[in-house]
Amino acid sequence: MGKYLMHLRFFRLIVCLALILGVAPIVAPQFVSQPAYAANVSRVVIRGNQRVEDETILSYMQLGVGDNIDDELVDESIKSLFQTGLFRDVGIVRQGTSLIVTVSENPLINVVNIEGNKDIDDETLLKEVEARERIIFTKARVASDTRRLLGVYQKQGFYNVTITPKMIRLPENRINLVFEVNEGGKTHINQINFSGNDNFSDGDLKDVIVTKEYSQIFFFKRNTTFDADRLAYDKELLRRYYLKNGFADVQIVSADPRVADDGDGFIIDFVVEEGPRYDVADVAINIGDSNLQPDALRAKVKTGVGDTYDASKVDKSVENLTLEASKQGFVFAKVDPRVDRNPDGKTVNIVYDISEGPRTYVERIDIAGNTRTLDHVIRRELRLFEGDAYNRALVERARRRLTAMDFFTKVDFREEEGSAPDKIVLVVEVEEKNTGELTFSIGYSTVETVVGAVGVSERNLFGRGWQAKLNTSLSFKKQQVDFSFTEPYFMGMPISAGIDLFANNIDNEDASSFTSQQIGGALRTGFRLDEFSSLSFKYLIAFRDVKGIDVDTASPAVIAEEGNSLKSAIGSAYTYDDLDNPLKPTSGLRAQLETEVAGLGGDAQYGLVEARAWWFMSFLDEKVTLKLEANAGHIEPFSNDGLPLQDRFFKGADSFRGFAQSGIGPKQIGNDGEFDSIGAENYAIGTVEMIFPLWGIPEEWGLEGAVFSDFGTVFGTDEESVAAGGVNCAGDGVFAGDCTVFDSTNIRAAVGAGLIWQSPFGPLRIEAAYPVLKEDFDETEKFRFSIGTRF
């Protein structure tokens, strides 16, 4: 019986399993096809939001009222709400057919502060922070800001810096965000090593790179901290240096930083593979079928047979040949240099292939980098317009004009592809510089002792190219104020217009026994004649007074000039200028011819002509600059009254180093037995000066030396006018009856040396000069220095 019951149960189990397996395929799809929440959403309830509106939250959800409740859509809704950055927590649960959305909002930033920073100011750091007042706080944004702040510090060598963001909670779910900074001090470079440099010493290569070793003695040295970008630039500088010195196969294998063994500072290891040094065996120019003039082209080639190979001279030759070909009408010239190496003989053959490149036209001109200077101020100097044929000669001239403006530290022209193969986009990329200048100068002379001057100027006022200048000169002997304003493109035309105002009070008691006062102004205009020359005109009017004369001590020539006078004059000036760089020229000529005629009303009647010229050339890869300067002038009276004292030439000091202001030229003895400078009608002064680096002194110190010689003569006076004005030379004075003028055409000369330092406060120049040729009645000045700074 028991076995029967057991078999019966087993049979029932088999039947049930068979029924289940048979029915399952039929009913299963009905259940599988239904979602986990079979019902539709009847309503959505939002909880926890304070600032964010319900409608905003609903707009980010992937399902709403009437939609089927689906787990995937719920998950997508949660992700979408998180991605808004508005919430730090989001939850969605079902209550029957309702969805309950619970959010926890991120706080609103009330204020962002930086604390603990000393070496980098708040303004610099806050520029890198994306978190701002009245935006939503998110951990991701703050973490990103922290990384950027660390990058700013590491750029300046602070590798031990730590930055901790902190929140100060406020009512209404607001916070103050504070980045706490522990700068930890700069991490300097303690040592720079080179390996593989068989032809150059470590010291030679250290002078090439920008990165420098830190020294506690020379603490003011720059670039002594580790910077990865600077290190990459150093590798390129080393490569260029080797290429410039004949090593055409050089490779800078690596530049690896490592932490010093004591953990304090970095050590930089450079690895170099120099290769052989090559000499130039042959140089050729291939002009193909063009009608170019070979002789003019050969004069532009900088590489010469027998020279050590210099890649920079090859590049310069390509540039010169391209410009020369453009000048000869080959506007689309293309110059390809071929450098064939002979490693066994250690020589190279250089061939410059000149061919007509693709005809290209300027589709568009873009200006970049001008944060202050207005676009039209730059464009008006280009003389190249959209639609013109692309001409490298015009581009080079535009580069020169933009550089001459002295608004930019860098001017680059870059070509980009246009909308068609024969079109280019010309990008003018500039890097602006400080165009305001505050200048201080101090001088010492045997006559005036200490003299000081202060000048303020702005070459690019309001970014419009306007030029304004205010100079003051203050000393025990001289007080002077000058103001000038120039609009280089008056009413949009290539004509300059300007105004000058001036006032001065000069105590010449020691040099000439009188005090001079002057107040007046001038109107100016001018225009360019061509690429290198210009012409300008002016009208000047001035009210003048010569006073403070003591007849018991002054000379007859000075006594005769006492009283008021009016000067009304017109003038013109022609200028030629092809200097390569107006700020620090190394080649080229600048010459100027000025004329002035007084007598359009007023008391002064004369004609004046002055000529000046400066010529520069460089040696030793433009490290040494030779300057030749020449100045000459003549003034001719138009009346029997002679020349007014204030219009004569008084030379010395800056115009003739080694001699004091008014220290050279005609003089007359006063009744006190002292010489009075009475001014000259003629002068001719020349200068030879050489500026050179101080070998052994790192370039980053900004020190240069100068040697010079000033030479010339200052002479001529109308002796009949000396006693004009009813002055009686006879009397009871010490030199009664003596109106003798001490005048000489003899050459005077001085030699000297100076030190120029590009200091943190601006260029400082110290000069000492010694007169080697002089007259007994000349006054000397042996020492002078000046300093200026930019703002």
Pick from 198-212, 444-458, 749-763 the range whose average pLDDT is largest.
198-212
Note the helical H segments in 37-175: 54-60, 71-83, 122-126, 139-155
Contact 250, 274 (CB under 8 A): yes
Phi, then psi, of 26 in degrees rounded to 5: -85, -45
Q: Which long-range contacts (CB under 8 A, 24 or more apart) does 448-455 make?
A: 448/475, 448/476, 448/477, 448/478, 448/510, 448/660, 448/661, 449/476, 450/475, 450/476, 451/475, 451/477, 451/478
pLDDT surpassing 90 at residue 526: yes
Report helix, strand and coil shares of the chain as percent, to nearest 5: 20, 45, 35
Which of the four pLDDT bands, split at 50, 70 and 90, describes residue 523? very high
Residue, of 528 and 697, whose pLDDT is higher: 528
3-class secondary-structure state, position 150 = helix
pLDDT surpassing 70 at residue 354: yes
pLDDT surpassing 90 at residue 447: no
Pick from 321-325, 516-520, 595-599, 762-766 the range whose average pLDDT is largest.
595-599
Lowest mean pLDDT among 218-222, 286-290, 588-592: 218-222
Encode 196-230 in three state secondary structure: CCCCCCHHHHHHHCCCCCCCCCCCCCCCCECCHHH
Cβ neighbours around 649 below 10 Å, total: 23
Average pLDDT of span 251-257: 90
Average pLDDT of span 347-375: 88
Lowest mean pLDDT among 29-33, 504-508, 594-598: 29-33
Classify residue 447 by burial, with Cβ atoms within 10 Å: 0-12, 13-18, 19+. Answer: buried
pLDDT tens digit sequence for 610-630? 999 999 998 876 789 999 999
What's the mean pLDDT when you consider all of the chain?
82
Average pLDDT of span 218-243: 81
Q: What is the pLDDT of residue 497?
A: 95
Contact 258, 267 (CB under 8 A): yes
Residues pairing with 634 in the sheet: 609, 682
pLDDT surpassing 90 at residue 765: no
| Distance from C-alpha of 456 to C-alpha of 55, rounded to nearest angstrom | 60
Strand order in the sheet with 108-115: 108-115, 174-182, 162-170
pLDDT tens digit sequence for 630-679? 999 999 999 887 888 888 999 988 889 999 878 899 988 877 777 888 88
Q: What is the pLDDT of residue 748?
A: 96
113 dihedral zone (left: phi>0; alpha: psi -120 to 50; beta):
beta
Contact 395, 419 (CB under 8 A): no
**Cα–Cα distances in angstroms (integers) from residue 365 to residues 307, 408, 431, 490, in the given order:** 40, 18, 17, 24
pLDDT surpassing 70 at residue 680: yes
Classify residue 306 by burial, with Cβ atoms within 10 Å: 0-12, 13-18, 19+. Answer: exposed
| Distance from C-alpha of 240 to C-alpha of 223, rounded to nearest angstrom | 20
Q: What is the pLDDT of residue 728?
A: 45
Average pLDDT of span 209-216: 80
Strand-strand pairing, 423-432 and 361-368: parallel
Q: What is the pLDDT of residue 711?
A: 97
Q: What is the pLDDT of residue 299?
A: 87
| Distance from C-alpha of 751 to C-alpha of 506, rounded to nearest angstrom | 29
pLDDT surpassing 80 at residue 763: no
Which of the four pLDDT bands, split at 50, 70 and 90, describes residue 291? confident
Whose tokens are 């010490």? That residue is 734
| Distance from C-alpha of 505 to C-alpha of 654, rounded to nearest angstrom | 20
Classify residue 607 by burial, with Cβ atoms within 10 Å: 0-12, 13-18, 19+. Answer: middle
| Distance from C-alpha of 705 to C-alpha of 766, rounded to nearest angstrom | 10
Dihedral of alpha carbons 314, 319, 324, 325, sign = positive
Lowest mean pLDDT among 290-299, 534-543, 694-703, 747-756: 694-703
Cβ neighbours around 23 below 10 Å, total: 10
3-class secondary-structure state, position 462 = coil
Contact 414, 429 (CB under 8 A): yes
If we measure between CA atoms, which residue out of 91, 102, 98 comes closest to residue 48? 102
The string over 265-285, giving b where at least 16 C-beta atoms fall within 10 Å of a residue's C-beta and e elsewhere, is: bbbbebebebbbbbebbebeb
Kindly give, in sequence order, each residue whose CB lies less than 8 Å from that of residue 470, ignoring residues fewer than 6 positions away. 455, 456, 457, 481, 482, 483
Average pLDDT of span 61-79: 86
Which of the four pLDDT bands, split at 50, 70 and 90, describes residue 721? very low
- H-helix or E-strand containing 507? strand 495-507
DSSP state of 584: S
pLDDT surpassing 70 at residue 28: no
Contact 158, 185 (CB under 8 A): yes
Which of the four pLDDT bands, split at 50, 70 and 90, describes residue 782? confident
DSSP state of 580: S
Residues pairing with 254 in the sheet: 271
Q: What is the pLDDT of residue 33?
A: 36
Average pLDDT of span 54-69: 86
Where in 343-494 does DSSP place strands (E)?
347-356, 361-368, 408-417, 423-432, 436-445, 449-461, 466-475, 478-487
Phi, then psi, of 177 in degrees rounded to 5: -100, 125
DSSP state of 354: E
Q: What is the crossing angle of helices 311-327 and 392-404, to 10°?
A: 110
**Cα–Cα distances in angstroms (integers) from residue 97 to residues 43, 57, 258, 389, in the given order:** 7, 19, 65, 74
Cβ neighbours around 115 below 10 Å, total: 11
pLDDT tens digit sequence for 103-158? 888 888 899 999 988 888 888 898 889 888 888 888 888 899 999 998 888 777 78
DSSP state of 560: T
| Residues composing the chain | 791
Token couple for 447: 């006559």
pLDDT surpassing 70 at residue 51: yes
Lowest mean pLDDT among 36-45, 352-361, 395-404, 670-679: 36-45
Kindly give, in sequence order, each residue whose CB lies less than 8 Å from that of residue 314, ignoring residues fewer than 6 positions away. 302, 303, 337, 339, 350
Dihedral of alpha carbons 128, 130, 131, 134, sign = positive
**Global pTM exceeds 0.85:** no
**Cα–Cα distances in angstroms (integers) from residue 286 to residues 262, 293, 335, 418, in the given order:** 60, 11, 10, 30
Classify residue 155 by burial, with Cβ atoms within 10 Å: 0-12, 13-18, 19+. Answer: middle
Strand order in the sheet with 333-342: 279-286, 347-356, 333-342
Kindly give, in sequence order, each residue whose CB lies less than 8 Å from that of residue 537, ignoring residues fewer than 6 positions away. 524, 525, 526, 570, 571, 572, 573
Token couple for 381: 């100097």
| Distance from C-alpha of 226 to C-alpha of 230, rounded to nearest angstrom | 8
pLDDT tens digit sequence for 86-107? 888 888 988 888 889 998 888 8
Q: What is the pLDDT of residue 791?
A: 34
| Distance from C-alpha of 774 to C-alpha of 746, rounded to nearest angstrom | 8
What share of the chain in percent tops pLDDT 70? 86
pLDDT tens digit sequence for 154-192? 777 787 788 999 989 888 888 899 999 988 777 788 889
